[in-house]
Amino acid sequence: MKQITSEFYNIYFDNTLQSLTDFLALNTYSKIFIVTDENTGKYCLPVLQSKLPQLDTYNIIEIPYGEENKNIDYCIAIWRMLLDFEADRKALVINLGGGVVTDMGSFAASTFKRGIDFIQIPTTLLSQVDASVGGKTGIDMNAVKNIIGTFVQPKAVIISSDFLKTLPLREITSGFAEMLKHGIIADKAYFERLQQIDTVDNVSNDLVFTSVEIKNKVVSTDPYENGLRKILNYGHTIGHAIESWSLNNEKHSLLHGEAIAIGMVCEAYLASKLVKLSNHDLQIICHTFIKFYGKYSLKTGIEQALLSTMRNDKKNNAGNINFSLPDKIGNCLYDIPVTETDIVQSLDFYRTL
Amino acid sequence: MKQITSEFYNIYFDNTLQSLTDFLALNTYSKIFIVTDENTGKYCLPVLQSKLPQLDTYNIIEIPYGEENKNIDYCIAIWRMLLDFEADRKALVINLGGGVVTDMGSFAASTFKRGIDFIQIPTTLLSQVDASVGGKTGIDMNAVKNIIGTFVQPKAVIISSDFLKTLPLREITSGFAEMLKHGIIADKAYFERLQQIDTVDNVSNDLVFTSVEIKNKVVSTDPYENGLRKILNYGHTIGHAIESWSLNNEKHSLLHGEAIAIGMVCEAYLASKLVKLSNHDLQIICHTFIKFYGKYSLKTGIEQALLSTMRNDKKNNAGNINFSLPDKIGNCLYDIPVTETDIVQSLDFYRTL
């Protein structure tokens, strides 16, 4: 079993889930609550149960699947369940699911009775390489992603590739975008390994481990996002805005990774214009994302809606829209103010690919 | 100007509000939001404006007056206002009001974009001696007080007795209950000074300062309420339950201090039964609270409703209802499990006074 030791907790790469058994044996909890969604309740909970037969008493809190449900209404539903089942401060919440479950479940836990313990068991590639590490909790509001949240660390993160086996390819591809991001912002050699993959459905455990290592290194340096951590937002300023727009306007909306893949192309264009990303690196980035994600039909006329969302991005201050932009593959700058004109131009750049 | 230096922030006793002027000069904020209720918007905001004429650009977020509004709906309203006015992470929230404003305003600020700065300007005696110090934020849900919240410290607390001048006597009396509590749990001489006061409308600045000192000392030792801080909950287990019941069932409901005054009498009875509080001290406590608060007509038949609320009290664990009980005036124990039979008996004790 591989393990990454973070400042406040451990990240276990552990298909046996022995680490969870050990954790529960070491800690006394009054009650255990498992937060799932419809899918993870069906596909992942039985896996958990089969590996932890001794975990026989717990309450399940199931939320509907999908980013559109990562909102205050379902958060209230989680709080009410905890209240109805008389969770006290010694209760434990285990979040078993993708980013919606881990983000919202951890926000609910971190604010219930001013904070109870929680464990993250991310079951999608996206949440394994992204949401599970770093202590960010959150829910969306008014189409702004993660606008309400806390910085609170889990007690442990447990990553098992067994859960990925139940995932549709599209979900794997979505998570893969964050891995590419880790390469672009921090590790060129890693990016080059990822580029060469033929199909994403055989992403190895080893690659997941490297991604988590990169993310963990960045967030350990800057847990409250005062500086370096912002580089993880590469692709996310435009990507989040497109994701929110899609969520509210398209029947078959984009997944998170699909949206930030578009965002990373647009922002690579901005990087080439503003922080000297070479044309060569820009081409490689564009080529890679088109290879894995194809071309999204980015509608015209939605620029103002996107900009309005971007103005509420958490990285902004003093009225500027701030970006994290790579100056070369493997390194990233942050707090780069970008004009609205340039942002609109970057969307046009994507459309012309 | 007197000042208490807490670990993370200062508490200023400052009628001139010069400390706020200085704070704003030292820190650069992108936008300032002042949270008020109907009353403090009318009576306290003009005082603030007259003393800080240079503070000319801010947004006001007004919530309705009253504990029943310290709920998720109004919290969402505050979040939406922050979002609509494009508050970024460098925005500042100034909470100008009683406990509802300071608790809910600080919870909203501590979770907006995962936390923006806030300052507490408590305008009631209760919030000056209680809610303003200690970094607890919170809202109520399902009649359970402060069930959702965070531990996040303000950037500063500013206490001005000028704001108290606009308060009805009943509000002053409510706040006075927390001061009596500080005496009972931590400082016998202070309690004796308070006992001798004829009418609470001339509570001196000096007494407020001592109360804040006591509370600050306790919370600095134990910011996350793992131990000693629990003594501040004396009177609150039963008091909160009565307060919640009253809020939901009585037209003219009890104020917080009025409810915990009843709670302190009941819990003094429990202390005499369980932790050897002397009969003499019990009599003094009963006499003092009856002197200042009179006798509340505590209905019969509500015991189960009260117990149900108490079971959700944050101090409980492993199914016990835990209390903080003084073993003598000036000292308090915590984590004392009490049976439901004894709790019901303590309510009867109050009724027979």
Q: Hey, is the C-beta of B251 within 8 angstroms of any chain A C-beta?
A: no
Contacts of B142 in chain A (CB under 8 A): 80, 83
- Between positions 16 and 55 of B, the ones with CB within 8 A of A are 30
Q: Calculate mean pLDDT across residues B111-129.
A: 96
Would you state the pLDDT for residue A54? 85
For residue B224, give how far its alpha carbon lies from the nearest alpha carbon of chain A (Å).
9
Asked if the Cβ–Cβ distance from A114 to B138 is below 8 Å, we say yes
Residues of A whose CB is below 8 A from B88: 314, 316-319
Residue of A88, A90, A112 lying closest to B148 (CB–CB)? A112
Provide the H-helix boundaries in chain B: 18-26, 38-43, 45-51, 72-84, 99-111, 125-126, 169-186, 188-195, 205-221, 236-249, 256-274, 279-293, 303-311, 340-351
pLDDT of residue B54: 85
Per-residue model confidence as pLDDT tens for chain A (353 residues): 789 887 788 999 999 999 999 999 999 999 999 999 999 999 999 999 999 988 889 999 999 998 889 999 999 999 999 999 999 999 999 999 999 999 999 999 999 999 999 999 999 999 999 877 889 999 999 878 899 999 999 999 999 999 998 889 999 999 999 999 999 999 999 999 999 998 888 788 889 999 999 999 999 899 888 899 999 999 999 999 999 999 889 999 999 999 999 999 999 999 999 999 999 999 999 999 999 999 999 999 999 999 999 987 777 766 789 999 999 999 999 999 999 999 999 999 999 99
How many angstroms separate the CA of residue B318 from the nearest CA in chain A? 5
* pLDDT band of B266, cuts 50, 70, 90: very high
Contact by Cβ (8 Å): A19, A156: yes
The strand pair at A144-148 and A139-141 is best described as: antiparallel
State whether residue A73 sits within 8 Å of chain B by CB. Answer: no
**Cβ proximity of A76 and A101 under 8 Å:** no
Q: Is the minimum CB–CB distance between B226 and chain A shorter than 8 Å?
A: no
Instruction: Name the residue facing B136 among A88, A114, A148 (closest C-beta).
Output: A114
What residues does A36 pair with on adjacent strands?
Answer: A62
Question: How much is the pLDDT for A32?
Answer: 97
Q: What angle do CA A124, A254, A307 make, to 5 degrees?
A: 120
Pair A186, A331: CB distance under 8 Å: yes
- Mean pLDDT throughout B121-133? 91
Q: Which two tokens stand for residue A37?
A: 């969604």
**pLDDT value of residue A185:** 98
| A317/B148 CB distance under 8 A | no
Say if the ipTM goes beyond 0.85: yes
Whole-number pLDDT of residue A318: 66
Nearest CA to A236 out of A98, A99, A144 is that of A144
User: B162 to chain A nearest CA, in Å?
Assistant: 32
Q: B141 at the A interface (CB within 8 A)?
A: yes
Q: What is the pLDDT of residue A56?
A: 83
- Considering only A195-204, A238-247, B13-22, B269-278, which range has the smallest mean pLDDT? A195-204
Among B113, B140, B142, B322, the strongest candidate for a mutation testing the A interface, having the largest count of A CBs within 10 A, is B113
Residue B144 is nearest to which of A30, A83, A111, comparing CB atoms?
A83
Q: Do A112 and B80 touch (CB under 8 A)?
A: no
CATH class of A2-166: alpha beta
Q: Which of A30, A142, A148 comes nearest B111 by C-beta?
A: A148
Any A CB within 8 A of B142 CB:
yes
Greater confidence (A265 vs B165) lies with A265
Q: Which residue did the predictor score with more confidence, B235 or B56? A: B235
Task: Say whether A147 and B83 touch across the interface (CB within 8 A).
Answer: yes
| Cβ contact, residue pair A88, B316, below 8 Å | yes
B residues 307..346 contacting A (CB < 8 A):
311-312, 314-319
**CA-based torsion, A77, A81, A86, A90: positive or negative:** negative
Q: Where exactly are the structural domains of chain B?
A: 2-166, 169-351
3-state secondary structure A236-258: HHHHHHHHHHHHHHCCCCCCHHH
Question: Helix/strand/coil (H, E, C) string of B30-95?
Answer: CCEEEEEEHHHHHHCHHHHHHHCCCCCCCEEEEECCCHHHCCHHHHHHHHHHHHHCCCCCCCEEEE
Say how far apart CA A268 and CA A239 lie, in whole Å: 12
Which chain A positions have a beta carbon within 8 Å of B311's beta carbon?
86
CATH of domain A169-351: 1.20.1090.10
Reported as a pLDDT band with limits 50, 70 and 90, residue B297 is very high
Q: Which residue of B has its CA nearest to A315?
A: B89
pLDDT number for residue B318: 66
Q: Chain A within 8 Å of B149 (Cβ-Cβ)?
A: yes
What is the pTM for the complete model shown?
0.90
Backbone angles phi, psi at B32, to 5 degrees: -120, 130
